[in-house]
Structure 1
Amino acid sequence: MPLKQLKIQHVRNLDDVSLSPLSRINILYGENGSGKTSVLEAIHFLGLTRSFRNSQFKHLVSEGQEQALVFAQADPLATGQAKPLGVERHLDGQVRARYAGSSLGATDLAELLPIQVINSDTFDLLDGSPGVRRQFLDWGAFHADPAFIHQWRGFKRALKQRNSLLKCGKIDPRVRRVWDAEFIQYAEQMTALRQAYIDQLKPDFEAALGALLQGIEVRLLFSPGWDQGKGLEALLHDSFERDLRQGFTSLGPQRADLRFKVGTLNAADRLSRGQKKLVVSAFRLAQGALFHRLSNRACIYLIDDLPSELDERHCRQFCEFLQASANQCFITCVDPAYLSRIWQPETDVALFRVESGTLTHRGAPGDQE
C-alpha cells in the first residue's frame, strides 16, 4: 500500500488536515463543496505537483497563501518500510520534492507514485481529443519501459526543431535530411514501445471490461499517426510541401490515437453514458492491473463521485474489481451508506468524513453506528 499517512496544507479549503491511518480502500464522504475532491487533488499534487482539475497552480493554493504542501509517509516501492515523501510548490514557480531525504525531479516523482484518476473528465478518453488518449497511452508506456522517456524526449526535440524549420519557409535540404532522419528514428522507436504497451494492455482491458460490462464487446485499436505500410520517410517526403505551407509536421507519433469500436461504430457514438463510464473505468483499471503485474507495485486510484451515473449493480461490480486488485483507492461520495457496506469483511476499508475543510477518521465501516 503506497500511502500510510497524509498531511495536507493550503490546498483549496484544506488549510491543515491529516489522514491517518490510511487503508487500502479509503472512502471520503460529505456534502458537495466540503473538500472531498480537494483531498484527491492533494494526492495528485503529491505525485505530479499539479491538480487534475486545473492546469493553473494558483487555483489549487488556499486563498491568501503563497504555497501548497503535501506530506506523506509512503512505501511506493513496496519495500515494507514507509519513508517520508513531501512536495511543496510556491506561486512563484518554485517546486521542491523529496523522498527519504533525497530531492526528486518531476520524472522521478511521477515514476515513484503512479496515480490514476477516474472522474467526470475520464469520459474524454472516448469523447475527447486524441491528445487525451495519447497522454493515457504515454503514461502506460512510461511506466512499462524505462526506455520510453528517452525516446519521447528525443522525439519531442526532433519534432520541435522540424516544425521550427518549416515555419521559416526555406530549408536547406542537407539540414532537412538531418532532422528528418532523427525524427524518423525516434518516431519509429517510440511507436514500437507504444504498440508493445497496447499489446500488453489488451488482455487486462478485456478482463476488466468483462467484469464491469457484460454482453458488449469493445475493441481497442491503435493508430500510430501515419500509414506504416508506406513508411514514414516516404510519407514525410510526399507531405513536405503541405507541411511547409502549414508550418508544422502533419504525420508522426504526435498524431497517434486510440480508437474504441463496438462493431463498426465508434464506442462514443454507440454507448450510453453509464456504459461509457464503465468502459473508461475498465481502461483505467486495466492500466493498474498491468502496472502491478510488470512491477509488483500498486497504483493509487483517485475516484471522484463513484456512484454517479452507475446503478447499484454496476457500482457493486466496480467495487468488486477494486477489491480484488492490489491498488490503493481514495473514493469520494456524498452518502456513504451504500459504499460502506459493499466490501467483503476482510477488505481493509476506512471512512473519513469531510466537513467544511476538516477531516474526521470514522474508522472501518463496521465501526459505524
Structure 2
Amino acid sequence: MPIRSLSIKKIRNIAAVSFEPSERINIIYGANGSGKTSLLESLHFLGLTRSFRTNQFRYLVTTAEREALVFSQIDAMGNGQVKPLGVSRDVEGDVKIRYGGNNIDLSELAGLLPLQLINTDTFELLEGSPSTRRQFVDWGAFHSDHSFIQLWRAFKRVLQQRNSLLKCGKIDPVLRKIWDAEFILYAEQMTNLRQRYIDLLMPDFEEILLRLVGDLSITVKFSAGWDRKRPLDELLSECLLRDLKQGFTSIGPQRADLKVKSEGISASERLSRGQKKLVVSALKLAQGALFHRLNNRACVYLIDDLPSELDKHHSRLFCEFLEQTNNQCFITCVDPESLTAFWKPDTAVAYFNIEAGQLVPTH
C-alpha cells in the first residue's frame, strides 16, 4: 500500500483536506465542480510536482494563496516501512520535495511514487501527437531500467547542442563528426531500451485488452524515429542539408512514436469513443502490471470519471480487473451507485463524498 495518509492544502477549491485512503480502491464522488478531479490533481502533484490539467501552476494553487502543499505517509517499497513525503511549490515555481527528512530530486520522487493517470487526456495516446506516446514509452523505460534516465539526459544534451549548431547555418565537419558520434551512441542505447520495454509490455497489453474488449484487432508497433535497417550515421549525413535549412535534427529518438492500428487503420480513426477508452486504459493497465512484475511493487492509479464513455458491462470488466491487481486506486465519479455493485464483499473499498472542497467518508 503506497499511500497511508494524505493531507492536501491550497489546491484549487481544496483549502485543507486530510484522510486515510484504502489500500486498494478509493471512490471519490460528488457533483461536477465539487473537487473530485482536484483531489486527483493533488495526488499527481505529490508524485510529479505538477498538474495534469494545466501547465500554468498558479492556476492549481487556491485563489489568493501563494503555495500548494501535499503531505503524505507512504510505504514506497511496499515492505511496511512508512516514511513521510511532502511536496510544496509556490506560484513562482520553486519546488521543495522532502522524503524521510531529506531533500530529493524529481527523478527520485518519480521512482518513489509511480503514478498511472487515466482521464480524458489519456485519449491522446491515440489521438494526440507523438510526444505523448513517447512519454508513455519513456515512463516504462525509466521504471524498467535505471540507466534510461542517464541516457535520456545525455541524449537531450547532445541533441540541444547539435540543433544549436544547425541553427548557425553551417557546421565544421570535424565538430559535426564529434557530436554525431555522441548522438548515435545515445540514440542507439536509448532506442534499444525503448524497444525492449515495448516488447515486454505487449503480452500484458494483449491479455488485458482481450479481457476488456474481447476480439478486437489491435496492433502496436514502436517506431524508432529513423530507419533502423540503415546506419544512423549515413542517414544523418543524408539529412544534413535539410537539417541545416530547418535548423533542427529531423531524425532520431526525438521523433520516435507508437503506431496503434486496428485492422491496418489508425485506431484513432477506426474505433468508437468507448473502444478508444478501453484500448488506452489497457495500455495503462498493462504498464502497471509490467511494473509490478519487474519491481515487485504496485502503482497508484488515478482514474477520473471511470464510468464515462463505458456501458455497465465494460465498467464492470474494468473494475474486476482493478480488483484483481495490487494497485492502489483513486477513482472519481458523480454517482457512487454507478460503481458500487462491481466489487466483491472482501475487497477493501472506501467511499468519500466531496462537496465544495470538503471530503467526508461514507458507507
Which TM class, normalised by the smaller chain length? over 0.9
Tell me which residue corresponds to 2:319. 319
C-alpha distance in structure 1 between counterparts of 2:354 and 2:21, whole Å? 15
Tell me which residue corresponds to 1:233. 233
For 1:257, the aligned partner's letter is: D
Tell me which residue corresponds to 2:13. 13
Deviations 1:289-329 (A, max 9, x none): 00000001110110000000100000000001100111110
Are the equivalent residues in 1 in contact too, given 2:225–2:255 (CA < 8 A)? yes
Tell me which residue corresponds to 1:261. 261
For 1:340, the aligned partner's letter is: T
Are the equivalent residues in 1 in contact too, given 2:307–2:338 (CA < 8 A)? no
C-alpha distance in structure 1 between counterparts of 2:238 and 2:184, whole Å? 14
1:174 aligns with 2:174: yes
Deviations 1:78-113 (A, max 9, x none): 121221111011112221111111111011101111
TM-score scaled by length of structure 1: 0.97
Q: Select between 145-154 and 73-82 the one with higher mean Cα deviation.
A: 73-82
Deviations 1:206-233 (A, max 9, x none): 0110110001121110000000011111
For 2:337, the aligned partner's letter is: A
SS at 1:353 equivalent: strand
1:21 CA drift (Å): 4.2
C-alpha distance in structure 2 between counterparts of 1:2 and 1:340, whole Å? 24
For 1:174, the aligned partner's letter is: V
Tell me which residue corresponds to 2:70. 70
C-alpha distance in structure 2 between counterparts of 1:209 and 1:304, whole Å? 20
- 1:90-239 aligned at under 5 Å gives the runs 90-239=90-239
C-alpha distance in structure 1 between counterparts of 2:75 and 2:12, whole Å? 26
Deviations 1:330-349 (A, max 9, x none): 00000001312210111111
Are the equivalent residues in 2 in contact too, given 1:85–1:100 (CA < 8 A)? yes
C-alpha distance in structure 1 between counterparts of 2:21 and 2:288, whole Å? 23
Q: Select between 99-108 and 35-44 the one with higher mean Cα deviation.
A: 99-108
Are the equivalent residues in 1 in contact too, given 2:301–2:327 (CA < 8 A)? yes
1:339 aligns with 2:333: no
SS at 2:330 equivalent: strand
Tell me which residue corresponds to 1:295. 295
C-alpha distance in structure 2 between counterparts of 1:58 and 1:37, whole Å? 17
1:19 CA drift (Å): 1.7
For 1:282, the aligned partner's letter is: A
Deviations 1:160-208 (A, max 9, x none): 0000000001211110000000000000000000000000000010011
1:56 CA drift (Å): 1.2
SS at 1:338 equivalent: helix
C-alpha distance in structure 1 between counterparts of 2:20 and 2:200, whole Å? 36
Are the equivalent residues in 2 in contact too, given 1:11–1:60 (CA < 8 A)? yes
Deviations 1:9-63 (A, max 9, x none): 0000000111224331000000000000000000000000000111111010000
Are the equivalent residues in 2 in contact too, given 1:73–1:82 (CA < 8 A)? yes
Are the equivalent residues in 2 in contact too, given 1:260–1:266 (CA < 8 A)? yes
**Could you list the runs of 5+ residues in structure 2 that have no partner in the other structure?**
none
C-alpha distance in structure 2 between counterparts of 1:166 and 1:19, whole Å? 53
C-alpha distance in structure 2 between counterparts of 1:202 and 1:57, whole Å? 35
Are the equivalent residues in 2 in contact too, given 1:5–1:22 (CA < 8 A)? no
Q: Select between 12-21 and 329-338 the one with higher mean Cα deviation.
A: 12-21
**Could you list the runs of 5+ residues in structure 1 that have no partner in the other structure?**
363-367
SS at 2:86 equivalent: strand
1:7 CA drift (Å): 0.4
Are the equivalent residues in 2 in contact too, given 1:28–1:354 (CA < 8 A)? yes
Tell me which residue corresponds to 2:32. 32
Are the equivalent residues in 2 in contact too, given 1:23–1:350 (CA < 8 A)? no
For 2:338, the aligned partner's letter is: Y
Are the equivalent residues in 2 in contact too, given 1:20–1:361 (CA < 8 A)? no
For 1:353, the aligned partner's letter is: N
TM-score scaled by length of structure 2: 0.99
